[in-house]
A = this chain, B = another copy of it.
Amino acid sequence: MTEPESATPRRRPGGRTARKREMVIDAAMSLLVEVTYEDLTVDAVADRAGVHRATVYRRWGDVGGLIADVFETASDDEWAPADTGSLFGDLVSINREVFDALEVESSLTRTLISASFHWDQAANALRSFWRDRYRRCEVVVDRAVVRGEVPTGTNANRVVVTATAPIYHRLVLLREPPDPAVVEDAARDAVAAARAQVLSG
């Protein structure tokens, strides 16, 4: 679910401006996994990208603006949750992605979460990014309703948040050592909750 994990360059259409944006965002992403967001500077990003510093200041303003654009770039993809044939399988697959994105202390995802506590612009971008990702995840519940696995009227957002929240909570807030058991445990709990009742809208 957490696509910003990938720091590999993407090919995207567009002319020189688009290529320049791509170079700068790729530079910001690769620097973010090397240094903390507090050590990230516009100058370092410009130098890494090989573009004029003035260009970066003009377009992105500051590091908060750069980080916001990293989220926007990350949202601009075709990501969809895997279709494994069962609600439990689909949630496990989502949870595995979340876990992989969080288990490393220096991961881009963790860095971006930290940054969101520092810059309002990054916080807003993270909120939009997650809103979009959770919306895409809701299809796993729609499919489960069609299969008769869970009752009609099940609140898809609530099921997906119930499945993923314990992973974020344990790894990011409680800072527990990463235990992969949480991937299946949290998915199983969410399925049990969804089956036990109609979670109305």
Contacts and interface: CB of A to CB of B under 8 A. Distances in A.
Interface in A177-201: 185-186, 188-190, 192-193, 195-197, 199
A104 B141 CA distance: 32
Interface of A: 38, 113-114, 117-118, 123, 126-127, 130-131, 134, 158, 161-162, 164-166, 168-170, 172-176, 185-186, 188-190, 192-193, 195-197, 199
Contacts of A173: 113, 126, 130, 168, 172
A193 to B, nearest CB: 4
A164 B169 contact: yes
Contacts of A130: 173-174
A165 B164 CA distance: 9
Query: Most chain-B CB neighbours within 10 Å: which of A117, A127, A176?
Result: A117
Nearest to A123: B175
19 contacts: A38-B118, A113-B117, A113-B173, A114-B117, A123-B175, A127-B176, A130-B174, A134-B174, A158-B185, A158-B189, A161-B166, A161-B170, A162-B162, A164-B169, A165-B170, A168-B173, A188-B193, A188-B197, A196-B196
Which of A38, A123, A161, A172 has the most C-beta atoms of chain B within 10 angstroms of its own C-beta? A161
